[in-house]
């Protein structure tokens, strides 16, 4: 990682891609369908909201969007845990993704505290 702004953009987008790769391996059932839908929404929203924060029109707007990034990352942790419980064969991949999502929560928390 060399440029913080670029790295976080790449990191959030890469994270979303990894989650998309994970969910493509999950057999869709009445139980997994809502879990997968929620996980995809929250995980991909992190990067989308970071892109919006990067183009914010004011400091207040920036902090608001970063706060949404943090909330979406926390929600993603929840859905990863639910998927790992429901689809045990994904447990290790979910654990790795959970760790990354948690690190994103910490990063966005630190950004909010610095501003």
Q: 84-97 pLDDT, tens per residue? A: 999 999 999 999 99
Which class in CATH covers the domain with range 4-114?
mainly alpha
Domain residue ranges of the chain, discontinuous segments joined by +: 4-114
pTM: 0.92
Residue whose token pair is 């892109």: 51
Of residues 7, 13, 22, the one with CA closest to residue 79:
22
Residue 5, pLDDT score: 52
With cut-offs at 50, 70 and 90, classify the pLDDT of residue 83: very high
Residue 115, pLDDT score: 67
Query: What angle, 0 to 180 degrees and rounded to 10, lies between the N-to-C axes of helices 4-23 and 59-86?
Result: 30
Continuous H helices in the chain = 4-23, 32-54, 59-86, 91-114
For the four alpha carbons of 28, 31, 32 and 37, in that order, the dihedral sign comes to positive
pLDDT, one tens digit per residue, over 3-62 is 555 599 999 999 999 999 999 999 999 999 999 999 999 999 999 999 999 999 999 999
């Amino acid at each position: 990682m060399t440029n913080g702004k670029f790295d976080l953009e790449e990191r959030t987008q890469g994270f979303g891609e990894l989650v998309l790769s994970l969910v493509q391996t999950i057999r869709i059932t009445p139980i997994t369908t809502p879990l997968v839908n929620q996980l995809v929404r929250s995980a991909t929203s992190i990067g989308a909201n970071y892109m919006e924060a990067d183009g914010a029109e004011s400091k207040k707007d920036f902090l608001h969007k970063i706060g949404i990034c943090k909330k979406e990352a926390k929600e993603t942790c929840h859905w990863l845990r639910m998927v790992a419980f429901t689809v045990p064969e994904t447990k290790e991949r979910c654990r790795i993704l959970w760790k990354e999502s948690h690190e994103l929560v910490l990063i966005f928390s630190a950004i909010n505290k610095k501003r």
